[in-house]
């Protein structure tokens, strides 16, 4: 099988194509774009139209609930427990009755692991008990290591049949950046935090790198099964089970698929007792059915609000709000704030072509964070001219009646004009001469170094 790369660039309005056939390729030069497609029995081609589709600025990894992930896996032939989603106590009772299982499991559905230890997973031995447990869990704030101290409010439950569990295993698929390939991970330490297992006993985790031209081969699946110590009689069943997981991962353009635990039952079957899937947002335009699974209640409200305006925003725990154009500059800005003794309150990239209205929307989102004590605006004026930015900043400060101190560092096109607009505004802007100066001033205005 051959890996084929098409490289494209524009030069004096002409198109040039270069075909490279090799196992590993260096990144294309600046302003080059590369499309990979692999020739196999099942040809999957990423078209040039797909490659050059503009990426929405609000895209981040999208998570779904356990019951949604299991529904996807079931379509690929992965065995999952029988279950139903419930939003009320009565729905939980009815679901348990339909399952007709002597034991059922009531599981809180939030986008975080560690639910069992937090009290979000309970066993019930009757439909009435399942309803009582559901009434207790619904509306509960679950706090786990992955939710942080704020926790998550439980608004939906998964009611599942109980299983005769003999062994618990870990299975996971993810994209390995080092090898630029999908890696299948497995461990006999199922039901545990895999991060802890990797830290304390790395040898306990099996890894199988998968070539994208051929997918997960049968011999690789058997190698994983043998490594997990599965009985011989389970081997024939394990191979298609593992290959189905890989197909579900690649077909949905997932960035993570985790089964923890995958259990071996008393009758010798492998069952995905839990399921976690995260999807690459760059590919969601191909999966309308996946976009509809998004649960906004599980996302930070400020991040959801930012996505409406095409802003890249991630909330952090500090007190210095950042407004920057360009992801690289935004990362450097957060670093220099930490270096100056402060702590960034967010990552916010307004993009290279932000308008005055976008700047205003960005300010509104920043100010909705009560932890913000000062704002650091760090802009390199290329596509976004400094005078345009300054006009937007002044208008936003007046319209929103901003009370917190604002430090502005600008460089680039029309920087002198932009700085003069800030000085003539009559507002209390602090103009920094460079990034270091700006970081030191904003940290001081936010209350000083910690």
Which residues have a catalytic role annotated? 170, 258
Which DSSP helix (H) or strand (E) runs through 84?
strand 83-86
Burial 144-177 (b: 16+ CB within 10 A, else e): beebeeeebebebbbbbeebeeebbbbbbbbeee
Rounded-to-integer distance, Cα 377 and Cα 280, Å: 30
Chain centre distance of CA 403: 33
Q: What angle do CA 31, 35, 41 make, to 5 degrees?
A: 175
Rounded-to-integer distance, Cα 96 and Cα 101, Å: 8
DSSP H helices in 368-427: 386-400, 415-423
Of 165, 161, 184, 24, whose CA–CA distance to 100 is shortest?
161
Which DSSP helix (H) or strand (E) runs through 166?
strand 165-176
Rounded-to-integer distance, Cα 29 and Cα 33, Å: 8
Most distant CA pair in the chain, distance: 80
Pairing of strands 374-381, 320-324: parallel
Structure tokens at 72: 């996807």
- Sequence-distant (6+) residues with CB within 8 A of 14 are none
């Amino acid at each position: 099988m051959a890996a084929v790369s098409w490289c494209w660039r524009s030069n004096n309005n002409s198109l040039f194509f270069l075909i490279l056939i090799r196992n590993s390729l260096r990144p294309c030069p600046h302003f080059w774009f590369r499309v990979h497609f692999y020739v196999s029995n099942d040809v999957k081609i990423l078209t040039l139209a797909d490659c050059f589709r503009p990426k929405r600025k609000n895209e981040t990894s999208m998570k779904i609930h356990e019951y949604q992930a299991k529904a996807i896996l079931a379509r690929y032939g992965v065995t999952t427990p029988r279950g139903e989603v419930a939003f009320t106590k009565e729905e939980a009772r009815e679901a348990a009755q339909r399952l007709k299982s002597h034991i059922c499991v009531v599981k809180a559905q939030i986008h975080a692991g560690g639910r069992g230890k937090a009290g979000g997973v309970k066993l019930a031995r009757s439909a009435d008990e399942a309803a009582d447990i559901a009434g207790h869990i619904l509306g509960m704030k679950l706090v786990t290591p992955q939710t942080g101290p704020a926790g998550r409010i439980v608004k939906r439950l998964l009611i599942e049949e109980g299983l005769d569990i003999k062994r618990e295993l870990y299975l996971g698929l993810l994209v390995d950046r080092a090898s630029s390939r999908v890696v299948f991970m497995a461990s006999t330490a199922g039901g545990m935090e895999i991060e802890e297992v990797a830290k304390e006993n790395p040898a306990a985790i099996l890894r199988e790198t998968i070539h994208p031209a051929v997918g997960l081969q049968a011999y690789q699946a058997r190698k994983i099964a043998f490594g997990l110590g599965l009985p011989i009689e389970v081997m024939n069943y394990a191979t298609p089970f593992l290959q189905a997981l890989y197909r579900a991962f690649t077909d949905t353009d997932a960035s993570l698929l985790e089964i923890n635990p995958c259990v071996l039952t008393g009758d010798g079957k492998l069952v995905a007792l839990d399921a976690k899937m995260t999807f690459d947002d760059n590919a969601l335009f191909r999966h309308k059915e996946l976009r509809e699974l998004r649960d906004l209640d599980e996302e930070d409200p400020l991040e959801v609000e930012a996505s409406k305006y095409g802003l890249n925003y991630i909330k952090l725990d500090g007190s210095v709000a950042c407004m920057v154009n360009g992801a690289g500059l935004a990362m450097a800005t957060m670093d220099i704030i930490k270096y100056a003794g402060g702590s960034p309150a967010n990552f916010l990239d307004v993009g290279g072509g932000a308008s005055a209205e976008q700047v205003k929307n960005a300010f509104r989102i920043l100010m909705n964070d009560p932890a913000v004590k000062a704002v650091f605006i760090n802009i390199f004026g290329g596509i976004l001219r400094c005078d345009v930015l300054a006009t937007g900043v002044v208008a936003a400060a007046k319209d929103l009646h901003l009370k917190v101190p604002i430090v502005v560092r600008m460089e680039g096109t029309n920087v002198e004009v932009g700085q003069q607009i800030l000085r003539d505004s009559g507002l209390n802007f602090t103009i920094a001469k460079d990034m270091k100066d700006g970081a030191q001033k904003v940290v001081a205005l936010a209350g000083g170094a910690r």
